[in-house]
Structure 1
Amino acid sequence: MPQGDYGDLKVGRLLLRETFKTGESVGTARTLDLEGQESNPPLTRAELVWRHDNVTALESGCVTPLTFTDKPERNAYVTVDSVSAEYTEWRNDVVTSDWKLGLTRLGSDAEVDLQSRLTGVVRVNDFALSGERWHAPPIGHYGYQTGTTNPTTMTRTGLDGAITVYRGIPTGASPRWGCTPANYLNGRVRLTSGGTELCGVDQSLSPTGWALTNGLVNVTQSGTGRLDVQTYTGGAWRSKVWTVYSQTGTEVLAWDGATLLRNGPEHVILRLTKGLNPGRLTLDLALRRGSRIVEGYLQRSTSADLKVTLNTAEAYTNTSAQGYLVASSDDIDGNRFACGSARTFTADANGGVIKSSTTSLDFWLGVVASQATLNTNPTFETDGTGWTAFGGATYARSNTQAKFGSWSGLLTTGADASPRYEAATTAVTAGASYRASGWINPGSALPAGVGISVNWYTSADAYISTSSNNLVPTAGVWAQWDATVTAPPTAAKAGILLVAAGTPGAGILVYGDDIRLRGATPSGDAATDLRNQYIASLPETIYAVRR
């Protein structure tokens, strides 16, 4: 925020006090010279030290947005040519940092396009995969082009808002796009230490207290050396804790050092180091703008069995022969873990990646992320509202059985056909695909089956049709019902319901839990898509190109 009568000057991520004057010159290049002072007070000492250290960490040669509060007409893209800062401390009185920046002005967004040069190679892999070339520019960009062939798009919504991901980038294409300097950092990747974002790579960094995030994925440590990989779904961060092993049976309980290898808005790489006494283990964690996964590279000086596994076991589908694993059912947040490697690996019993007798292990971690739940009260945890019984049945909230948490929705059948309870209707889009899912536990056998169905209605609440299918679960055992359904052409509303098929007779108990109607998992977020995007996670360098 502005200090007193001063505005803000932002050089990339770095926040400084706006200077009174900006020196400009034109010759072989258009240069900008800025100088100013940061002081404590009015800043706290920690704030001043952060600004001083981040001034001296600015990287030369990188395209950097420059924005002013009071002189917005000077907003532009620049490169840093020279940096100096004098740090002065009068003990128990005042601390100052007098800084100078020498910049080259590349131009405003009206003058220059930004060009993302993506490498033409994909990861070497053991699965004959060509990968999927993809790219995510900042939130708020415009005029994206890849030549005569257009890519497809998808939208991922995270903490920073909706970011567009371009898929199927043509081979050899270097996308060009426009973006105001003020929008350039929206949706960026950032590394924070102690809650403070760092600029550049020449930084003092603690091996604890850091967080690596892009608004979709957030990676931190979980108490010890474990990795807490969080995914932003349903308006909140959802955690999966992963354990790193330096060799068979030896979990990394703490890291000795941390280093930034790359720290750009589009791509950050953090290296963690562990002494093996003798030898060392390093873990490189990489996160890209717009990505649903964090990439990892584990390396040690001598050969051993390396692995990264879920700390708490989850059932999964073993497709390691195709380069990935994915959970076989939703977790309490509606997500399914996914992980994999570019190289042949063994699946761990908990869910994870193992490579034996090796000095390196590449991997990726993430989830097949759920879409927003459309119906109210899917878990019955707080109360029993939002559901109504039909077909002679009764409905009640129960803590006798629960798949997740402590409560479920109990259906007691009546004598009529199709006893059921249904959620209040929610708005849908005609022709769109939706995912209906839930867990079912019948108290006794139901020969005709039971299922999670969707009733479709017009905008005037007139019934249209039902999308349904039944399963015959074992009495007393939770079973998941999961299907993709399509809204009819005239549908405007939908209600999800738990229903016993046929006329099962009165008095049968059926428990339901985590019953959700959601948008279908979009193309691009399935486990195979995440695997292919990992294979083609192409390094990006950004240039300013005159329009």
Structure 2
Amino acid sequence: MPQGDYGDLKVGRLMLRETFEANESSGESRSLELSGQESNPPLTRSELVWRHDNLTALEQGSLVPATFTDKPERNGYYELGSVSAAYTEWRGDVVRSDWTIGLRRLGTDAEIDLQSRLTGAVRANDFALTGERWHAPPIGHYGYYTGSTNPSVMTRTGADGAMTVYRGVPAGVSPRWGCTPTNYLTGRVQLTSSGTELCGVDQALPPTGWALTNGLVNVTTSASGTLDVQAHTGGAWRSKSWNVSVAGSASSITTWDGATLLKNEPEHVIMRLTKSLNPGRATLDLALRRGSRFVEGYLQVGTSDTLAAYRSTAETNTSFAASGYLVATDDDADGNRFAIGSARTFTAHANGGVQKAATTTLDFWIGVAGSQASLNANPSFDTDTSGWTATNATITRSSTQSKYGGWSGLLTSTAGSAPRVQSANAPVTSGQSYRASGWLYAPAPIAGGVALNINWYDGGGAYLSTSANSTTPVSGSWFFMDTNFSAPASTAFGAVHFALNGSPGAGVLLYGDDIRLRAATPSGDAALDLRNQYVGCLPEVVYGVRR
């Protein structure tokens, strides 16, 4: 925000007061020398100290976008050269930082491409995985170029907006792309301390109060475990607590003694947490990449023990340990399923997690098989029964049974066949795959069984067909139903419904909760795809290349 008669100068992630003068020189490298001053007042003392410390933490040789309020003609990409700052404090009066920055101009986004040098390395693994070359440039980039072979494209939407992720980037190719300097930081990875973003790695980082985020994943310390790993799905952050232990399930790490930044770039941030074991110590490296749906962890100790990363609260899960991961068996309240895995052979933890005995290292990743947005309204009946209609039945909102929240929808059969409660019609696309999922509860045995189906309709609203998924439930407990169906030809609308099969007569009860119609989980956010993206470790270095 401009201060007084000054504009803003933004160098990378660092905001400074724009100086009146910018000294330029030409030659083999066009240089730009800037000198300025930050002061308290008008800044608060903490704001001034933050600017000074982040300025001196800038890394020489790195590529940075620079933007000016009053000299926008100088906006562009630069290589960071010399940085210096003099800190002066008159106790109880004025604090100031007099700084100098030397930049080498690379060009505007119209002159240069940004080139991402992706490594060809694949993490050593025990599952014969070849890894996947994938890449996520900033939101707002343009002209993504990989030569004669184009990668596939998917979209991941997080707190910063919709991000394009390129999959199957050709081997041996360093992608080139354009991006305005003002867009370069959108969707970046950030490490914040007490809510303030840090630049560079030469920073004092306390072991609490930090957060590591890329808009899709947010990691911080947990009040009920070691880490709070949050996934941004459905327009909000969804939280799960995880334990990290160097002594099996006997004792998890709840506090850290130190924190260090190892790498801090918009594309990739790595931090290290340290815990004293008296004697010895444990370190946990956490890494997050731009566009990633998972956080990477590397746990180390000096003396071998049972190392583990697992859900703080047990969650029913399905183990694919022979393939390198576990995934939650059922959707949670947000329609997501946690996923966790490792590149090396491990034993599945009962809570949902990975553990390895008699070892000094454990690598792991934690992510989510993210839910697609619900196409039907009011899936959990927590406010009312709007958006739902009953056929050969009544629908009421009930607090007698609930899976999530305090309410569910209660179907009570009246007369006729297939008593059901159905959502409103939602637009769908013929030939596309859609998912019907939800929790059902039968208080008494139902001989004919129950169903969770999708009815399909044409553009005029005429019924076409039903895609059905039936089961005979065990009474007295919630059970999950989940199936993907393909919308048939001529389909324009779909509606999900839960039902009693046959003609059960009047008075039969069936509760439903979190009943959703969604597009099928997109490729790239399923556990198997995340596993391959983790193994295909692709640290990036970004260069400016003249077009």
TM score, norm. by length of structure 2 = 0.98
TM-aligned CA deviation for residue 504 of structure 1: 1.6
Aligned to 1:245: 245
Q: Distance in 2 between matches of 1:306 and 1:526?
A: 26
Q: How many angstroms apart in 2 are the aligned matches of 1:59 and 1:462?
A: 64
Distance 1:45 1:218, change over 3 A: same
- Name the structure 2 match of 1:310: 311
Distance 1:303 1:257 in 2: 22
| Cα displacement (A) at 1:177 | 0.8
How do residues 408-423 of structure 1 correspond to structure 2 at under 5 angstroms?
A: 408-423=408-423
Give CA-to-partner distance per residue, 1:23-67, whole Å, 9 cap, x none. Answer: 111112111101111111111111111001111011111111111
Rounded Cα–Cα distance in structure 2 between residues aligned with 1:451 and 1:3:
64
Task: Identify the residue that residue 299 of structure 1 maps to in structure 2.
Answer: 300
* CA distance in structure 1 between the aligned counterparts of 2:357 and 2:469, rounded to whole angstroms: 44
Range with greater deviation from structure 2 (71-80 or 180-189): 71-80
AA at the equivalent of 1:70: D
Q: Distance in 2 between matches of 1:24 and 1:224?
A: 54
Determine if contact 2:121/2:537 at 8 Å carries over to the other structure.
no
Give the 4+ runs in structure 1 shifted more than 3 A: none
> Residue type of the partner of 2:323?
Q
**Corresponding position of 1:274:** 275
The 1:310/1:225 distance shift into structure 2, 3 A limit, reads: closer
**Which residue identity is paired with 1:90?**
W
1:451 maps to 451
Name the counterpart of 2:339: 338
Q: For 1:462 and 1:73, locate their aligned partners in 2 and report how far apart those are by CA, in whole Å.
A: 60
The count of residues paired between Structure 1 and Structure 2 equals 546
Distance 2:174 2:449 in 1: 54
Q: 1:488 to 1:224 in 2, by over 3 A?
A: closer
Alpha-carbon deviation of 1:224?
A: 6.5
> CA-to-partner distance for each residue in 1:309-360, whole Å, 9 max, x for gaps?
1000011111101100011111111111100100000011111110111111
Report the CA distance between 1:225 and its aligned residue.
6.1
Tell me the CA shift for residue 305 of structure 1.
1.0
Hey, what does 1:520 align to over in structure 2?
Answer: 520
- Which residue matches 1:469? 469
SS of residue paired to 2:53: helix
Contact 2:438–2:515, Cα closer than 8 Å, also in 1: yes
CA distance in 2, matches of 1:70, 1:525: 43
Alignment identity in percent? 67
The aligned counterpart of 2:368 is: 367
Give the aligned CA root-mean-square deviation in angstroms: 1.2
Kindly provide the CA deviation profile for residues 191-219 of structure 1, in whole angstroms up to 9, marking residues without a partner as x: 00000000000001100000000000000
Unpaired runs of 5+ residues, structure 1, are none
**Is the CA contact 1:443–1:508 (under 8 Å) kept in the aligned structure 2?**
no
Moved more, 34-43 or 380-389: 380-389
Tell me the residue number matched to 1:285: 286
> Which whole-Å deviations, capped at 9, do the CAs of 1:278-336 have from their partners, x for residues lacking one?
21110000000000000000001111111111000011111101100011111111111
Shift of 1:460: 3.4
Query: Matches of 1:97 and 1:44 in 2, distance apart?
Result: 13
Relative to structure 1, the CA distance from residue 208 to residue 158 in structure 2 (aligned partners, 3 Å threshold; closer, same or farther) is same
Does residue 185 (structure 1) correspond to residue 185 (structure 2)? The answer is yes
Could you report, residue by residue, the CA deviation over 1:415-442 in whole angstroms, capped at 9, with x for unpaired residues? 2011111112222233322211011112
Alpha-carbon displacement from aligned partner over 1:216-267 (angstroms, at most 9, x marks no partner): 0000111266100000011111011001112232221210000000000000
Q: Give SS of 2:541's match.
A: strand
Equivalent residue letter for 1:289: R
CA contact (8 A) 1:54 1:200 kept: yes
Give the aligned residue type for 1:210.
W
Question: Hey, what does 2:438 align to over in structure 1?
Answer: 438
Aligned residue for 1:521, secondary structure, equals coil
Deviations 1:426-483 (A, max 9, x none): 2223332221101111233333321111222334333232222211111222221111
Residue number in structure 1 paired with 2:320: 319
The amino acid of 1:306's aligned partner reads L
Could you tell me which amino acid in structure 2 is paired with residue 418 of structure 1? Answer: A
Q: How does 1:22-41 map to 2 (within 5 A)?
A: 22-41=22-41
Whether the 8 Å contact between 1:224 and 1:254 is mirrored in structure 2 is no
Aligned mates of 2:232, 2:496 — CA distance in 1: 25
Instruction: Tell me the secondary structure at the aligned position of residue 73 of structure 1.
Output: helix
In structure 1, how many angstroms separate the alpha carbons of the residues matched to 2:459 and 2:23?
62
Compare 453-462 and 511-520 and name the one that shifted more: 453-462
Unpaired runs of 5+ residues, structure 2, are none
Separation of aligned partners in 2, 1:181 and 1:192: 22
Letter in 2 for 1:535: V
Is 1:381 equivalent to 2:382 in the alignment?
A: yes
TM-score, scaled relative to structure 1: 0.98
For residues 498 and 88 of structure 2, what CA distance do their matches in structure 1 show? 70
Aligned partner letter, 1:12: G
Q: Give the 3-state SS of the residue equivalent to 2:246 in structure 1.
A: strand
- Partners of 1:98 and 1:537 in 2: CA distance: 41
SS at match of 2:102: strand
Contact 1:225 1:255 in 2 (8 A): no
Q: Please say if 1:232 is aligned against 2:235.
A: no
Q: Is the 8 A contact 1:410 1:512 kept in 2?
A: yes
Separation in 1, partners of 2:126, 2:421: 49
1:134/1:537 contact within 8 Å kept:
no
CA deviation vs aligned residue, 1:483-535 (integer Å, no higher than 9, x gap): 11223343332221111122122111011111011121001111100111100
Once the two structures are TM-superposed, the CA of residue 75 in structure 1 deviates from its matched residue by 0.8
2:14 maps to 14
SS at match of 2:125: coil
- The separation in 1 between residues aligned to 2:227 and 2:57, in whole angstroms, is 27
Q: Distance in 1 between matches of 2:431 and 2:46?
A: 55
In structure 2, what is the equivalent of residue 120 of structure 1? Answer: 120
| Letter in structure 1 aligned against 2:444 | S
- CA deviation vs aligned residue, 1:367-426 (integer Å, no higher than 9, x gap): 111011121111112222221111x21111111111222211111112201111111222
CA distance in 2, matches of 1:486, 1:388: 24
Answer whether contact 1:116 1:176 (CA < 8 A) is retained. yes
Matches within 5 A, 1:83-94: 83-94=83-94
Partner SS state of residue 286, structure 2 = strand
1:424 counterpart residue number: 424
Q: Which amino acid aligns with 2:18?
A: E
Worse-superposed segment, 222-231 or 193-202:
222-231
